[in-house]
Structure formats: structure tokens, C-alpha cells
Structure 1
């Protein structure tokens, strides 16, 4: 059981995406690959699944923030892609609340997908590999801090 607070479904005002989408997007990719590389280094991501990501290109869009990240996995590292280079192998898009619920393990990718809160496009087999990687992650237990009590 997670000791994180429950994340409600929400959608940010459309003005947020209108403004943010005009800003440089590379910081999103750098932040995301940094987190993914840290998860890989901590062995939270299964190594056999990581090998199957080699050379594949990914795209993540947070609809209600206007944020986008493009990245690849090459030579054992997630790497940001600073320029769009053709169609990505796999694309994910959702509102911020859906991604936060997924990260907090409050919702699973299947539920979000079938409730039309998470869009996945591209290589179906690759999508299943990524989904199974997410399902296999065992997050370390965080201490029960008073600020996180429900």
C-alpha cells in the first residue's frame, strides 16, 4: 500500500498549455531521461526489458500542460532527442493527473487507457514491453511522514 496521498483527477486550465507549449520543450526531455536513468541505475527497471528498448524513439505529451518530451534508449542510457526525427516508435499522451496517478501506482496503465485518459500510439509490441516494465517496478517503501498522511 502506498503512503502517498490520493491524487484526484483534474485538468489544468487550457491557458496553461497555450503558454507552456510555446516554451522550449527540451527541459522536459532532460528531466524525464534523468529520472529514467536513475530508475535504471537503481535497478527499478528490468534489464531484460531495457535491452528491448534499444534504438527505439519515444514521445510523451502532457496534454493539459503542453509539455512534450522526446527520447531514445541507446547504449544502456535513456537520451533526450532535441529535434523531432520522424514518427516515434511509441507515443503516450495524457493529462498531468493521469501521469501522476500512474507514477503513484494509484491507477494502472490498462485502466487509464480503457477509460480514455491515456493515449498510446505506435508499436503495439513495444507498448506491451513498456507496460510490463511499469507493472514490474517495485518502488522502495517511503517512510510514513506526517505531511503525507491522508
Structure 2
């Protein structure tokens, strides 16, 4: 079942890139992200409320709060950087470079979460890096 959710996330992320790039034509990237953030906030809390999980807030320990806050800061920075990059380059190129985050996530997961490293994981990460290098070396024409 996780594969279905992951593919749904990938499709949604692709839509974010394309719709954001199209919407950035006459808007500052920070303003565009702030507008989207309002909807992120409303929809996210709406889901929590609808699912009846609002009471779970009191169960969250301090360490978890700190980790979630740090992840929220990282999410915000990632989005701001991504939006700025989209104002400067073609979406297909920006997203290819941005998705090197997958390789960084693999490395950090192995180091900090002690996840198992396999030859398939290393090969997949190497292919992602090779693809990003090919895109970086190409000459995008907009």
C-alpha cells in the first residue's frame, strides 16, 4: 500500500512543480510560496480535524516537537529555494537537480537512521546522480 501513496505523492509533487512554474510568471517566488503555504496550513489542519487527531497534540514529546519543527524549517527553506530556482530555470531542469534530495536523503538515512544499504540502493542513487550531472552539463533553452 505504501507504493500507492508514494506514487500519489510523486504525481502531486510533479503537479506542484508545473503549476508553480506556470504561476511564477508575474509573482515574486517568496510571495507565491506564502500564498501556497496558506493552503497547505488550512488543508493540513483540516485533515487533522476531520480525522479526529487534534487530541494527539498533547501526546507529542519535546524531542518529537523539536524534530518536527526542524523538519518544518527545512521544508520551508527547500520550498523557498525551489521556487526561486523555478523563476530562473526550466522546470524540467530545476526539478532534476532538486531531486538530488533523494540521494542526500539516502545518505542521511543510512548515517542517522541506520537504514540498511544495499547494492540496489547504491546503484539507484548513482543513476540519479548521473542523470543530474547530465542535466547540469546540458544547455537549457527556454
TM-score, normalising length: structure 2: 0.30
| Larger fraction in helix | 2
Q: Point out the structure with max Rg over C-alpha.
A: 2
| Larger fraction in strand | 1
